[in-house]
Amino acid sequence: MKTSFYLTAICLVSLSIFLMWSKFRVNDHDIAIAVNDDNDKYKFSASFPDGNTTRVQEYINKSISPNSLAKSNGDYFDVTTTLADKTEFYAYETAGKLKIEIDKRKNSNASIYRIRKMCDGIKNLLTSK
């Protein structure tokens, strides 16, 4: 009788530990990228492991140089900005999440191409091994 009680208790404790571990673990393969390109707007959104946030921020800053959005690691933003070349776009970024939108009616083809190229680079950065 005592053996079955201890066996049941060990199974319940093991199951509880496994469930807690699976709920709170960090999975480096949880990447979701969505692109919506219609006549008026180009939208890019991505969710990714928090550990890639710094790399994404650095890539964005490199892509929009001489401007920058994130001044330091952990500096998150929710802003509509105009770059030196008059490119106007919306960017929202927090740990593990990114959203970029550009209005095609307000921007030149070169500006739209620049933002698309930046978003393609972010996609490649996140999906590369």
For residue range 66-110, what is the model confidence (pLDDT) as tens digits? 887 766 666 688 889 899 899 999 999 998 899 999 999 999 999
Is 64 contained in some domain?
Answer: yes
User: Considering the entire predicted model, what is its pTM?
Assistant: 0.73
Is 66 contained in some domain?
Answer: yes
Is 109 contained in some domain?
Answer: yes
Is 21 contained in some domain?
Answer: no
Is 19 contained in some domain?
Answer: no
pLDDT attached to residue 116: 95
Is 100 contained in some domain?
Answer: yes
Does the pLDDT value for residue 6 go beyond 80? Answer: no
Number of domains comprising the chain: 1
Is 36 contained in some domain?
Answer: yes
Does the pLDDT value for residue 26 go beyond 60? Answer: no
| HEC sequence for the chain | CHHHHHHHHHHHHHHHHHHHHHHHCCCCCCCEEEEEECCCEEEEEEECCHHHHHHHHHHHHHHCCCCCCCCCCCCCEEEEEECCCCCEEEEEEECCEEEEEEECCCCCHHHHHHHHHHHHHHHHHHHCC
Question: Structural domain of residue 103, as residue ranges?
Answer: 27-127
Is 11 contained in some domain?
Answer: no
- Quick: pLDDT tens for 34-59: 999 999 999 999 999 988 888 998 89
